[in-house]
Amino acid sequence: IQAYTHFQPAQLTTVGKRACLWAQDFALDLETIEQLVTRLPMRGVKGTTGTQASFVQLFSGLASADQVDDRIRELDRKVCEAMGFDRSIPVSGQTYTRKLDTWVVSALADVAGSAAKFATDLRLLAHEREIEEPFGAKQIGSSAMAYKRNPMRSERICALARFVHSLAGSPRETHGNQWLERTLDDSANRRLVITEAFLATDAILNLVVDISAGLVVNPAMLRRNMADELPFMATENVLMRAVEAGGDRQALHERIRVLSLEAAEALKAGRDNDLIERMRADPELGPHVQDQLDPGRYVGRAPAQVDDYLGELEALLARHAHRDGRFTARVRV
């Protein structure tokens, strides 16, 4: 299929390779979240300013200061274990450092970014009619233009992702503006930001699952768009073969340049790309054209890269196999 850089036709790729680019972003996010879950400590039992002074008083009847320390450490450990944490943060003020909140919301913003990249690509590909999000049998694309198939799910992902991204800076501001052991200007902000970041990311992933389950690939359009550009890609190989056969490189290059410009003008005028026919009519270029028209020559290692990456991805997904099937996307259109 046609690959694009700067949204201009570039070399070829495959549908699988493009899908792996999307999947890899989400996989990296999942690995980040895995690491975050293991890194996040609990505040534990630290008291009003983090010194555990009240617990020193609570256990003051013990025989020695060492016993008091041991008992407080044990209490801290048991409370953490009861809450599902394997450790507590070593030092804190009245609250755990709000830097931890920046980790959490940043991880959610990363997920939103991956989803926005996926959705933005689909919006572009839908314009080319190459790959589209699912479209319900009774779905209305436009209230005015009945024929339209607007990519509303992808657009909704982009809107929600932008919202999550806007939230990501707030925890950093909250962290930086905590005075000494604690001020209360974190509370109202955290209740909004953290909650809404999770809710919006959940809605984004709901849309991603729904789109992925019904993604539509249009092979005929992929072939048609590729056919418009493949002749231009073939020119380099045709030139090399013609030079190997004894042709003058500068003269051949100039002839290909002129023929390519003429074919490009024909395309802009709404006609088919006739560059292949133009090169076939050239006595030195013509014998080398047919062998260079196989699209497989221009995808490089894309198929092998897909196979290699899927092996890595399967290992990651296997760690989460117990969650498979527990989520069903529900989207109203």
Distances (CA, A) of 17 to 3, 12, 26, 133: 10, 10, 15, 18
Assess contact for 221 and 128: CB atoms under 8 A.
yes
End-to-end C-alpha distance for the chain, whole angstroms: 30
Nearest by Cα to 115 from 133, 141, 140: 133
* Residue 302 DSSP SS3: helix
How many other CB atoms are there within 10 angstroms of residue 208's CB atom?
Answer: 21
Phi, psi of 131 (to 5 degrees): -135, 135
Find the catalytic residue in 64, 92, 127, 142.
142
Assess contact for 165 and 107: CB atoms under 8 A.
no
Assess contact for 22 and 121: CB atoms under 8 A.
yes
Distances (CA, A) of 6 to 14, 78, 124, 225: 18, 56, 12, 16
Assess contact for 302 and 122: CB atoms under 8 A.
no
Assess contact for 262 and 218: CB atoms under 8 A.
no
Assess contact for 222 and 2: CB atoms under 8 A.
yes
Is 253 among the catalytic positions? Answer: no
Burial (CB count within 10 angstroms: exposed 0-12, middle 13-18, buried 19+), residue 2: buried
Is 127 among the catalytic positions? Answer: no
Q: Which residues are catalytic?
A: 6, 142
